[in-house]
Chains A and B, each alone.
Chain A
Amino acid sequence: MKYLQLEKVEMIFDTKRGRFHALRDINLSVEQGEFVSIIGHSGCGKSTLLNLVAGLILPSSGAMLCAGREIAGPGPERAMVFQNHSLLPWLTVYENVRLGVDKVFGATKNKQQRDEWTRENLALVHMEHALNKRPTEISGGMKQRVGIARALAMEPKLLLMDEPFGALDALTRASLQDSVMEIHGRLKNTVLMVTHDVDEAVLLSDRIIMMTNGPAATIGEILDIKLPRPRKRVELADDAAYNHHRAAVLKFLYQRQRRPEEAA
């Protein structure tokens, strides 16, 4: 069964300067356990697509199903890792994660179990040493780790990530990508990630959704990445299949979907 299914989804925003047709005719289905990336130039509506799946905004028309149920609003079963981590600055690392844990497992787990579950998830992203620190006291990479732990701790059926590593330096990004690959390998959760980094998309994904330029952006091409897991970034650097996929994405982005201002 398709886990996530979007059919003929359209998104039109009513702005002060009139109607803006952001997305048109989005058809997409994602299998359980699949890691899918959405890539495209900025302004192509990839974050809008993610917000639709998250339920933060509702589509103008079309159908969206997650695990056979209509997406009518946000919910913890579709946890989101935000671009700028969005940790609450007045709560400690532990409390930030615990907030979601209490909400999702308040009825099914007792206090001690929830405490253990919170610590377990922070250990998963290697942040158990900073439980009682506030977000202002830890680095950007660490904040994003906590953001991932908060999302994972809700045991989401679908993990949504909106350019999760966009604001990080290259080395931190690589180490977090490895963590995400490791976690995905272990938990086999379904992931939908927005990115603008070609290497990141090829390295992490089972499939890459390539978006055409906006306005009225849609899915231009879908690329299957048939690389065996676990993947090692250093080995893949010389891998012919990897570079072939990489070239395919680059061609799509820089030849077929050149930005309008560059084409002119």
Chain B
Amino acid sequence: MTVLAMKKTLDSPQQTEPKSEKAVVIIPPVIAVPPPAASRFADTGRWVVRILVPPVLGLVLFVLLWALISKGSEGLPGPHETWLSAVELFSDPFYVNGPNDQGIGWNILHSLERVGLGFGMAALIGIPLGFMIGRFAFFNGMTAPIISLLRPVSPLAWLPIGLLVFKEAQPAAVWVIFISSIWPIIINTAVGVTKVPQDYMNVARVLNLSEWKIFTKILFPAVLPYTLTGVRLGLGVAWLVIVAAEMLTGGVGIGFWVWYEWNNLNVAHIIIAIFVVGIIGLLLEQLLLLMARRFNYE
């Protein structure tokens, strides 16, 4: 490495360093080691600027804007007030004070349980259904009109049907989650089946594989990325819908909790609930993205 190139790597990345002194010390004895160290330091610096600064800046601006608005409004608590309230709330998340007054932890867990139940059933039924629709044109023709008719219906329109059939609020809420999250799972799986490369199917035909082998060795792994996308969308919808469904059905849950705190005019708690719902939704999504990456073979 020439001195000039060396100077360049030292110069450009860290302007704040007193470079003249450092350059003199480093250049004569060693040739290979210091420049990578310096550039690695610069790389971390550039990484921080590119990856970390924009989102942090955005969040700071968001909080500032929130503080500004809350100053001008009467009922809306500011960031500081909300933070204090959250600290208090999360210091005892699992208290039970009667059926309508329980800790935030219980509310979150109950909501997750409903979503898990409804969404789990949707996956259990939706994935095989999607495979059948994608694989057999006749079945596709049979189900296509029903799916296109029912898919655009707002999730909450299903609630009365659930209440009527199950005669109880809890299974009705699970039913709403089920019916609203099943569509993306079915549709993505079915599309995935039709997108399986013809080459792979030709391999199956030349090998004369049985329908079961075709499913386990070719269809299932080839469709899995599509199915996981459907599952991710479905879970997103389920988590969106749960708040609304619980507001209507009651019981312990994050949605009902929002409604309960609205009746208490405890707006700070409502804001906390919004953050909690957002953060949990984000975590679920990341979890599924991680899973999808594991099964992507391209």
Contact = CB atoms under 8 A, between A and B. Distances in A.
A and B associate in one complex: yes
Contacts of B221: 88, 90
A64 B206 CA distance: 17
A86 B205 CA distance: 13
Given A86-B200, A88-B221, A74 B206 contact: yes
Given A91-B217, A134-B297, A86 B203 contact: yes
A69 interface: no
A90 B297 contact: yes
A82 B200 CA distance: 10
Interface in A127-156: 134, 136, 154
B211 interface: no
Contact of A86 (B199, B213, B297, B298): B199
A79 interface: yes
Nearest to A154: B207
Contact of B217 (A76, A80, A86, A99): A99
Contacts of A75: 206, 208
Contact of B200 (A54, A74, A80, A88): A88
Interface string A46-85: 0000000011100000000000000001111011101010
A99 B200 contact: no
Nearest to B224: A90
B207 A136 contact: no
A144 to B, nearest CB: 14
Given A99-B217, A100-B207, A84 B199 contact: yes
Nearest to B217: A99
A80 B200 CA distance: 12
Nearest to A100: B207
Interface of B is mostly: helix
Nearest to B202: A56
A237 B248 CA distance: 84
Interface string A82-114: 101010111100000001100100000000000
B209 interface: yes
Nearest to B218: A88
Given A90-B297, A91-B217, A136-B298, A103 B208 contact: yes
Interface string B100-141: 000000000000000000000000000000000000000000
Contacts of B208: 74-76, 103
**Residue among B203, B205, B217 with the highest chain A CB neighbour number at 10 A:** B203
Contact of A76 (B197, B199, B202, B206): B206
Interface in B254-298: 297-298
B203 A82 contact: yes
A134 B221 CA distance: 14
Given A84-B199, A90-B297, A136-B297, A79 B206 contact: yes
A109 to B, nearest CB: 16
Given A88-B218, A136-B298, A76 B207 contact: yes
A161 B78 CA distance: 72
14 contacts: A54-B206, A56-B202, A56-B205, A74-B206, A74-B208, A75-B206, A76-B208, A84-B199, A88-B200, A88-B203, A91-B217, A99-B207, A99-B209, A136-B297
Given A86-B197, A88-B203, A90-B221, 17 more contacts: A74-B205, A74-B208, A76-B206, A76-B208, A79-B206, A82-B199, A82-B202, A84-B199, A86-B202, A88-B200, A88-B217, A89-B298, A91-B217, A103-B208, A134-B297, A136-B297, A136-B298
